[in-house]
Structure formats: structure tokens, C-alpha cells
Structure 1
Amino acid sequence: MQKKETAKEIAKEVAELPEVNFSDYGDVRFLHLGTEWVQGSMLRDAPYDIELEYVQRMMAGLLFMDAAGISKKHAMQLGLGSAALTKFCYKKLRMKTTAIEINPQVISACRLWFKLPRDDLRLHVINADAAVEIKKAVHQGTVDLLHVDLYDHEAAAPVLDSAEFYEDCRDLLAEDGVMTVNLFGRDSSYVQSLTKIAEAFGPEAVWAFTPTREGNTVVLAQREPTRPERAELLQQAGVIESRWDLPAKKWMRLFKPVV
């Protein structure tokens, strides 16, 4: 039987979470967790667009999906950040969207300062530890587009980064589901994370971008590996650019299988 936490224990855990604040620079608003590190951003005049390059790349799972059926799919984010991915999937792609965020202050900040809509029939923001929440049977096999971006306030390495965690992520995915992960940190940390993802998904299921200038490397893993022809991916990239204004043709110069 799982031990229930007391109100005092829960209050202590919340108090230990980092303070959430924001800063504005020109037309961009940035989210911070008590440090100068940027945890997310928003274009103040276009709050449902994706501003940061690496976050745009987190949408690369669209390359493997039929654009005509996107609105019938389910997207999930582990780690809310500034809610850029959550808002894009919900508002622009019209997907059923679930986000899991451990810090209730981040959820409140996204709704106060970053235009995150309230929950409704298609949007569900869950205040929970992602490592625990994703094990629940209700989520298993339901997710078509999974985004994993789990960093603490120091942004040094992923908070959840074991082969077992990535196996749990794979269990979330529908048959044609795709996961993208933001890996940020030292080269050795990246290689270790990539090895764990390949262990959980199989090396033939894993693709990766070259790093951004800031050092973010987005890795993609498919529930069931496929190797579409480059021409097919380029065609899909053109559809993504025309429909959702993401730089998907540029992705094709920076994105390839790891084996």
C-alpha cells in the first residue's frame, strides 16, 4: 500500500521547489526558475507560436505523422516549461493535449504570464511527478506525440534520465507514437542519455538533430522504427512548413538516424 503524504509533508515539498519568475526582453517573455537560466519563452504578440529553436525541433515527430489526422491524435508533455509545446499542440494542431508538471508554481505562472488556457475537454494539465504519473494505466498506449523536457533550475542534466524511465515513456506511446527529448549539457552527458534511449527503444528507432548554438540536442525515438525515404520526409516537411509555419525543411539538413 502506498503511503499517503500529510499536508505538512506536501507543503515542505512545495517550499523546496524553486521560485518561478519571468523577464521581458523586447517582444519576448522568458520563464526562469529562480536563476538566470531560461526555462522557456513566449512571443508576447504571438503567444501560441514557438519562439525557441530547440523547442521548434521538439515538434519533429510531425515528420512521421499524417498531417490530415493530427487533430485526432494525443500529445503529452513531461515538463511544462513556459507551455510553448502544450499551447502549440492544443491551439495550433487542435490535438488532445496532456501536460505533467511537478511544480504548481510553474502551472500558475503559465496561466498568469504565458497565456496557457484553462483545462477543458482537450486540455489537461496534471500537477504530479512525471516519473510516477506516466506509470498509471490510464496513460499507457495513448500518446502519439510525447515531448520530454525535464530540467531543474540549474539546467545541468535531465532530472529523469534512466533506461527504465525511457522504457516507461515507450509504454506511453501508441503503435505509431513518437517521443522527442531535449538533451542539454556536456558531451558525456549527451552520450550517456542517448545510450539509455537506444537501450529502451532500440538503436534503429532513434534519430537526432545536430546541437543548437545554445547546446540543446533534440533526440527522437519511434515506438516502432521506420526509415522513410528522404524524399518522403522532405514532402512532409513542406506540409509542416505550409500548415504550421515551422522550419521543417531546415530540419532535414540537421536531422538523421543515429545508426
Structure 2
Amino acid sequence: MRFLHLDSIWVQGAMRIKKPEKLELEYVQRMMAWMLWRDTRELTQGQAVQLGLGAGALTRFCRKQLKMKTTAVELNPTVISACRHWFHLPDDDDRFRVLNEDAGEWVADAANWGTAQVLNVDLYDHEAAAPVLDDEAFYANCHRVLADGGLMTVNLFGRSASFARSAARIAKVFGSDQVWHLSPTREGNTIVVAGRGVTVPEREVLEQRAANIEARHELPASKWLKLVRPLPMNVIQQIREQA
């Protein structure tokens, strides 16, 4: 295993050297939970965007395993360099690119609106204390980046972060009926899934999708399905208070 640290004790990413496309960290696997909400026949269509490169795990997976058009946006050039040298990140081509840009500015650019079917948001500094971008304006631009039926996953973790506050901001933009979360990992990572006009299928369909994801991509999707929750009442209350 190879781990990425940004001048701190916090693990910012990991890769199994002999299996670089395999998702190793549990919370990173759960960042792919959007696959449950997407029709199996359309699973690999469109563009996947990662805000925050980390060790490139999601980027490699979407490009190699799902064969999606993939874009990663990373502010720190050292992270990009490390991924190129140590984490098997390939060179850019016509279906893959890594942008050394500010994620907030990228989602605010109207040229990028409506271009992503999948948006993975994992934005932390070297201290991993709280999300770097976490306000309502940022999530509103994330919503604009998604095409109709698109899905966003957000890693909410940090010693100073408030899940309820962040989830309420997301739900205020996306609508409370378009936001779900998975129970926290042992390390405290809570993954939020938010959709733009997504219809939730029947339980039987979700179970079939989970089985397909496990068979084709070796991800614990049946476990995800058991962990998915609607927004808790304290989050709903915060939304009402903000209205």
C-alpha cells in the first residue's frame, strides 16, 4: 500500500501498488454510492468530475473501470505531481484531464454548467479540519454543474466540521427529497449523495443494481444500500430555520 499525506498525520489517499484501480479506503468506496441511483444501462455514460484529486483513486476508477470521460480539479500542483509520479495517474488525453485550478472557481464558471453526470467533492487542506468549500453558494454552483439526473457525492469529515450544518446547506440547494447520506465510517467520514431531478427506484431495483455493482466492480454496494438514510430531523429543522 502507498499512502498520500499532505505534511500531516492525516491520510489523504491510498493505493494498492499492484492494483492501482482498486478503491482501498472505505470512505472512498462510499463516494461511489451514486451508482445505486443511476440506471445500470447508463452507468458509464457522460462525464465524471472530481473536485479534489487526493491520491487519484476516484479519478483512476472512473476513467479505467467505468470508462467515463473524467476530469479532476486540484488546486495544489504538488498533489498532481505526486499522483503522476507515485499513484499511477495517466497523462491527459481526449477523454481525461487533470486541471490545476481552484474548484470553487471551476464550478462557478458557466462554461462548466450542465456538463457532469457525476460530481465527487472531497476538498480538504493538509490539516483535514473541515471542508475547504462548504457554503451555500458553492453547493449552488455544484448543482449547476450537474446535468439533469446527475448525482453528487460529498465527503463530510473533519474535527471542526458539522454534518448537520453542511447537509442542510446541500439540501437547501438540491431539495431535501434529493439528498441522502450513508452512516458514518469508523473514522467519521459521512458521505452525502445529492441528485438533480433524480427519481428513486423501487427497493427491488436498487438491490439488483447493488448486485450488479458488486459483480462488475467489486464494491460493497449491498452494504451501502443498508447504510443509506434520509436526512435526519435536526437537518430538516435547520433547513426550515434558514428558509
Q: TM-score range by the shorter chain?
A: over 0.9
User: What corresponds to 2:157 in structure 1?
Assistant: 184
TM-score, structure 2 as length reference: 0.92
* Stretch of structure 1 that moved more, 229-238 or 174-183: 229-238
- Cα deviation code 1:109-152 (max 9, x no counterpart): 00100000000011011000000111222211010010000000
Residue of structure 2 in register with 1:161 after alignment? 134
Question: Structure 2: which amino acid aligns with 1:165?
Answer: F
Residue of structure 2 in register with 1:203 after alignment: 176
1:120 matched to 2:69? The reply is no
1:137 aligns with 2:110: yes
Amino acid at match of 2:33: A
How far apart, in 2, do the equivalents of 1:187 and 1:207 lie?
22
Per mean C-alpha deviation after superposition, the further-off stretch among 136-145 and 62-71 is 62-71
* Structure with bigger gyration radius: 1
Residue number among 205, 212, 218 corresponding to 1:232 in the alignment: 205
Q: Distance in 2 between matches of 1:185 and 1:129?
A: 21
> Could you tell me which residue of structure 2 aligns to residue 15 of structure 1?
none
Q: How does 1:3-82 map onto structure 2 within 5 Å?
A: 28-82=1-55
Residue 88 (structure 1) aligned with residue 61 (structure 2): yes
Residue 3 of structure 2 contacts residue 11 of structure 2 at CA under 8 Å; is this kept in 1?
yes
Q: Determine helix, strand or coil for the equivalent of 2:118.
A: strand
Q: Which amino acid aligns with 2:99?
A: I
Contact conserved, 1:204 with 1:225, CA < 8 A, in 2? no
Following superposition, the deviation at residue 65 of structure 1 comes to: 1.5
Structure 1 equivalent of residue 230 of structure 2? 257
Cα distance in 2 for partners of 1:51, 1:90 equals 16
Q: After the TM superposition, which of the residue ranges 134-143 and 55-64 deviates more from structure 2?
A: 134-143
The residue identity in structure 2 corresponding to 1:251 is: W
Letter of the 2:183 partner, please give it. Answer: T
| SS of residue matched to 1:214 | coil
Partner of 1:146: 119
Looking at structure 2, the residues matched to 220 and 122 of structure 1 have their Cα atoms a distance apart, in angstroms, of 25
Establish whether residue 98 from structure 1 lines up as the match of residue 71 from structure 2: yes
2-structure distance, mates of 1:155, 1:189: 13
What secondary structure sits across from 1:134 in the alignment?
A: helix
Task: Name structure 2 gaps, 5 residues minimum.
Answer: 233-243
**Which of 87, 101, 109 is equivalent to 2:82?**
109
Task: Give how far 1:225 is off.
Answer: 3.9
Match of 1:213 in 2: 186
Of the candidates 127, 146, 152, which is equivalent to residue 173 of structure 1? 146
1:110 and 1:212 mapped to 2: Cα distance?
25
Cα distance between partner residues in 2 of 1:254 and 1:186: 22
Amino acid at match of 1:253: K
The 3-state SS of whatever aligns with 1:182 is strand
**What stretches of structure 1 of length at least 5 have no aligned partner?**
1-27
Q: CA deviation at 1:45?
A: 1.1
Number of aligned residue pairs: give it.
Answer: 232
| Off by >3 Å, runs of 4+ in structure 1 | none
What amino acid is aligned across from residue 66 of structure 2 in structure 1? Answer: L
Q: CA deviation at 1:68?
A: 2.7
In terms of mean alpha carbon deviation, does 184-193 or 67-76 score higher? 184-193
